[in-house]
Structure 1
Amino acid sequence: MSERKEAQALLRLLTWMSPAFPVGAFAYSGGLERAVADDLVRDAATLRQWIKASLEHGAGWNDAVLLAEAHRGFEDCAALADLADLAAALSSSRERHAETLALGAAFLQAARAWPHDVLERLGSAVAYPVAIGAVSAAHSIALEPALIGYLHASASQSVSAAIRLSVIGQREGVEILAALEEPIERLAPLAASAGLAGLGTATVMADIETMRHETQHTRLFRS
């Protein structure tokens, strides 16, 4: 790949993973809001553990594996459709299902600023990691950088949600992101090579919290 193409790929990845990209991720906490209400996440230490567990053993891990599969199969319409169905079925709660589909649809709509026929192959009702994986591959963004960008954006969104919930301040948020660099760097190649056989989670409490959030009376977030 030429230097110009590499720079172009990097710029697009940074844009798509930016908090300013119009996908509406700021409206979701992935169950974190309920975990705060239940005192499972109450400070920087417990927040870091919560995010790390999600990335290594929870929804973050499954999303990374799904992203990798979509990246590899971005030219195969049937494979993408099957993957989209699987990604939706793996959602642990109604809110998690709504979240990933809403983010996926918003991402694909905004990504039309960079026209490519992969957008037609994906359709409109596609889970967020599947959309990002396929579109990233179509625009020559290498798999591991795409995974690192996605995992970092996911961690950053959780940190941002925790700041809004008054669990931590901005300085602690930066420290958490610094501490998560090593896990993210380690997880990217693992997810890239895991395949669908590597799907699976072991974060039962996090899944329960996403379900409990559905009946939470007062809340800031949609999940």
Structure 2
Amino acid sequence: MLMKTNRPPKARRGRREEASARKLPIPAPDELSDDEAANLYRLMTWLSPSFPVGAFSYSSGIEWAVEAGDITDAASLGQWLASMLVNGGGICDAIFLAHIHRAATAGDDALLGEIAELASAFVPSRERHLETTAQGRAFIEIARAAWHHGALDRFITACGGHFAYPVAVGLVGAAHHIPLAPTLHAFLHAVVSNWISAGARLVPLGQTDSQRVLAKLEPDVAATAKRALSVSLDDLSSTTFRADLASLRHETQYTRLFRS
């Protein structure tokens, strides 16, 4: 037996019609300009883990830190990386990127050469030098081949063959007129993500714990980028001595998964 309702069908139809009549206002389109869309597309591509610069081959000394017992879980990995980011290689690379981008934008070829040479020299070990220059050269070559821009050729010549990774990213970003701030944030996110990926394979960590570490480092990334935008090359410094020792001792590890 069918159940009866106390509400007549006509009344139900009337309420539906009332609801359909109350339409929410349609917001104005929130669209990117053509330049903004191109910039976002390129940054997401260039600083994606799939961009073939070989970043997965390097651990920035994290491999030794895990073997030595300095990094044993997600918490200790996060603390190690926060120190590297705020007081070590992270902030130094960010400063180099900011200054090379500005020099390229200003067309100061002499300054480009000076900054590029300093960035290549400002690493604590042979393996870290290999890490930053190998990735830098790969980044330049691939970006130049796929997204050729005439200004980049001049920047490359001015740098005299010195292409640390942050220098390469800054040069390509400036050549394509991508603003400095988003370029810097994307670069730091890529660097931190690669550190976490190395740590996750070495500790090891699960995917959720890895993402928790990345989430916890978000304010450190933002603060490092902000600081790099406001300091001079005279403010370059690194106080992560244990991380520097890790990169030096990695060469003599008995077994190694990474090149640094």
Q: Answer whether TM exceeds 0.5 for this pair.
A: yes
Gapped runs of 5+ residues in structure 1? none
Match of 2:94 in 1: 64
How far apart, in 2, do the equivalents of 1:166 and 1:9 lie?
A: 36
Aligned match for 2:238, one of 195, 201, 207: 201
Match of 2:178 in 1: 141
How far apart, in 2, do the equivalents of 1:217 and 1:10 lie?
A: 42
CA contact (8 A) 2:66 2:203 kept: no
**C-alpha offsets along residues 157-216 of structure 1, whole Å, 9 cap, x if unaligned?**
011111211431111000111111111112212101112022101100000000000111
CA contact (8 A) 1:119 1:135 kept: no
What number of residue pairs does the alignment pair up?
A: 222
Structure 1 residue 118 and structure 2 residue 152: aligned? yes
Match of 2:19 in 1: none
What TM-score, normalized by structure 2, do the two folds share? 0.83
Displacement, 1:125?
A: 3.5
How far apart, in 1, do the equivalents of 2:207 and 2:187 lie?
A: 21
Match of 2:22 in 1: none
How far apart, in 2, do the equivalents of 1:94 and 1:121 lie?
A: 26
Displacement, 1:58?
A: 0.2
What TM-score, normalized by structure 1, do the two folds share? 0.96
CA contact (8 A) 1:73 1:134 kept: no
How far apart, in 2, do the equivalents of 1:108 and 1:165 lie?
A: 29
CA contact (8 A) 2:120 2:162 kept: no
How far apart, in 2, do the equivalents of 1:191 and 1:119 lie?
A: 26
Q: After superposition, where does 1:13-32 map in structure 2 within 5 Å?
A: 13-32=43-62
Larger radius of gyration: 2
- Give the match's secondary structure for 1:115: coil
Structure 1 residue 222 and structure 2 residue 259: aligned? yes
CA contact (8 A) 1:81 1:122 kept: no
Structure 1 residue 106 and structure 2 residue 138: aligned? yes
CA RMSD of aligned residues (A): 1.2
Larger RCO (CA under 8 A, 6+ residues apart): 1
Gapped runs of 5+ residues in structure 2? 1-31
Aligned match for 1:81, one of 113, 118, 121: 113
Displacement, 1:121?
A: 2.2
Structure 1 residue 10 and structure 2 residue 43: aligned? no
Structure 1 residue 96 and structure 2 residue 96: aligned? no
- Give the match's secondary structure for 2:204: coil
Letter aligned with residue 122 of structure 1: I
Structure 1: which 4+ aligned runs deviate by more than 3 Å?
none
The sequence identity of aligned pairs, in percent, is 48
Displacement, 1:79?
A: 1.4
Structure 1 residue 43 and structure 2 residue 73: aligned? yes
How far apart, in 2, do the equivalents of 1:175 and 1:119 lie?
A: 40
How far apart, in 1, do the equivalents of 2:207 and 2:153 lie?
A: 36
